[in-house]
Amino acid sequence: MPEIDDRAELAPRDVVSWAISNQMERTRHPNVYLELTHLKADWVRRRFPGIAAICAKFELDITRDRIPVRPGAHYMMGGLTIDAECRTTIPGLWAAGEVTCSGLHGANRLASNSLLETVVHGTVVGKAVSRAAAEMTDDFRALPLQNACRDPDGEPLDLADIRNSLKSLMWRNVGVRRDADGLREALENVERWSSYVLEQQFADPTGWELQNMLCVARLMITAALDREETRGCHVRTDYPDLDEKNW
């Protein structure tokens, strides 16, 4: 890492992820390795008990063995736009935390900022919702959770297969590195799957979750296509520079 960024292992996550991804592509290897052998074994075990336990299940001793690592989706930066009291643009809907685009993180969330956001906005939204609820009448009605949908044609949908394919597609084309060709390919596939899945009426969370995943995936791809620049963790290899004029 020192030859890539002066901050080495303390570099921001997007820099580290980019470096790992490049190394994996260059070496044609599925991961890189993290080594802790230069640290005292007792300290490592006390400091990282959870990681030590997980690695032990795969017969890896983190104090002696190399630990295989690769980038992974960790946090969603972006979502529902909220105001200072965590109100969205939809009357009666408040939001806080990872689901929101609060402006607190900028283009790249720093470590532990999500915890601060949760504490601050959780308090803010709790107070705001309590005040709003106190002013509402007790006349509540549940909206029907049904929609008119077409009868499924042919064989039932293989939801597990679509879900796995969607996850693989999003990692390949909308992951650490993005470009127009990959994003258009992703959008084409997501729209094709959506044409089958979104019109179905499911009776269990598996189907609902897949519908939500397809909706979020389409929003992410569309936003990534529109933003023809590189900023923070959004890396467009075909637009590698910041575009301060348009963004």
Phi first, then psi, for residue 178 (nearest 5°) are: -135, 150
Within 7-83, strands assigned E span 32-34, 67-69, 80-81
Say how many C-beta atoms besides its own lie within 10 A of residue 178's C-beta. Answer: 23
> Which candidate, 182, 171, 177, 229, places its Cα nearest to that of 14?
177
- Do 233 and 14 touch, CB atoms closer than 8 A? yes
Helix axes 159-173, 180-197, angle to 10 degrees: 160
Integer Cα distance of 119 and 128 in angstroms = 14
For residues 15 and 13, what is the distance between their CA atoms, to the nearest angstrom?
5
Torsion from C-alpha of 233, 237, 241, 245, nearest 10 degrees:
-90
**For this structure, is 13 an active site residue?**
yes
Q: How many CB atoms lie within 10 A of CB 16?
A: 19
Catalytic residue among 13, 45, 218, 227: 13
From the number of C-beta atoms within 10 Å of its C-beta (0-12, 13-18, 19+), residue 218 rates as middle
Q: Which residues are catalytic?
A: 13
